[in-house]
């Protein structure tokens, strides 16, 4: 059974969706540890209530790599195979990315490579695209730039606000993040350049 490590900084709804699918036996893995750099993160409380192992590792005032070394040592302690960034509001150092090559996933609320960075839903509204969505990608040393694992398309409606659009995207995030985790833990895919291909 593969071990998942979840990293979050806030609400944690993507984590919760993954955890429910793990509980339901829909993801052949277990959540070994949930780590947050924010003590008051709602997702950390949810994880505790679910009886999962949790760790609060403060990031404030720490050098990026020093913090990442602490996180990686906890992930190693729990023998984590796949790391899921679920609203983790930090950019990973090359040290972290190299510790888990091809085994760190992130969810972004836009159809990458469109609208990387923060406020992706607002960026889509401001630009006036007809469709946006969400992307699960493998984390590389750039920002929102790694190979794409899963995407879902969400149309923009005339009366959309940032809140209404974000809510519709979030529903798709919850669905595709678990799909992407399954692809990785079941070892069904391989990378050919940037393209994720199904193994025969």
137 part of the interface to ligand GRF, by CB under 6 A = no
Separation between Cα atoms, residue 29 and residue 37, nearest integer Å: 24
10 part of the interface to ligand GRF, by CB under 6 A = yes
CB nearer to ligand GRF: pick between 48 and 188: 48
How many residues line the site for ligand GRF (CB under 6 A)? 14
Q: Which residues contact 32 (CB under 8 A, 6 or more apart)?
A: 3, 4, 5, 53, 78, 79, 80
CB nearer to ligand GRF: pick between 103 and 108: 108
Annotation marks residue 108 as catalytic: yes
What b/e sequence results for 107-131 when a residue is b if at least 16 CB atoms lie within 10 Å of its CB, and e otherwise?
bbbbbbebbeeeebbebbbeeebee
Catalytic residue (one of 2, 55, 108, 168): 108
Cβ atoms of 29 and 2 within 8 Å: the answer is yes
Residue 99 — φ and ψ, nearest 5°? Answer: -75, -25
What track of x and - describes contact with ligand GRF for positions 20 through 59 (by CB under 6 A)? -----------------------x----------------
Q: Which of 4, 7, 14, 154 binds ligand GRF (CB under 6 A)?
A: 14
Smallest gap from residue 152 Cβ to ligand GRF (A): 11
Smallest gap from residue 44 Cβ to ligand GRF (A): 11
109 part of the interface to ligand GRF, by CB under 6 A = yes
Q: Which of 12, 22, 82, 180 binds ligand GRF (CB under 6 A)?
A: 12
Please give the sequence-ordered ranges of beta strands (E in DSSP) within the chain, or none if there are none: 2-8, 29-36, 54-56, 82-85, 104-108, 131-138, 148-155, 189-192, 195-198
87 part of the interface to ligand GRF, by CB under 6 A = yes
Query: Which residues are identified as catalytic?
Result: 108
């Amino acid at each position: 059974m593969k071990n998942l490590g979840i990293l979050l900084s806030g609400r944690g709804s993507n984590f919760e969706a993954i955890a429910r699918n793990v509980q339901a036996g829909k993801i052949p893995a277990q959540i070994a540890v949930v780590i947050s750099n924010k003590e008051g993160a709602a997702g950390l409380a949810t994880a505790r209530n679910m009886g999962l192992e949790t760790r609060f590792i403060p990031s404030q005032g720490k050098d990026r790599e020093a913090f990442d070394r602490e996180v990686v040592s906890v992930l190693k302690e729990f023998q984590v195979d796949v790391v899921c960034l679920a609203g983790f509001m930090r950019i990973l150092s090359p040290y972290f990315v190299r510790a888990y090559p091809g085994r760190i996933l992130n969810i972004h609320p836009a159809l990458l490579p469109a609208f990387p960075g923060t406020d992706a839903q607002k960026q889509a509204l401001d630009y006036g695209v007809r469709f946006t969505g969400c992307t699960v990608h493998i984390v590389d040393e750039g920002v929102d730039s790694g190979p794409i694992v899963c995407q879902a398309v969400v149309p923009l409606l005339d009366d959309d606000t940032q809140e209404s659009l974000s809510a519709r995207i979030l529903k798709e995030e919850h669905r595709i993040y678990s799909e992407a985790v399954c692809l990785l833990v079941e070892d069904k895919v391989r990378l050919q350049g940037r393209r994720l291909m199904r193994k025969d």
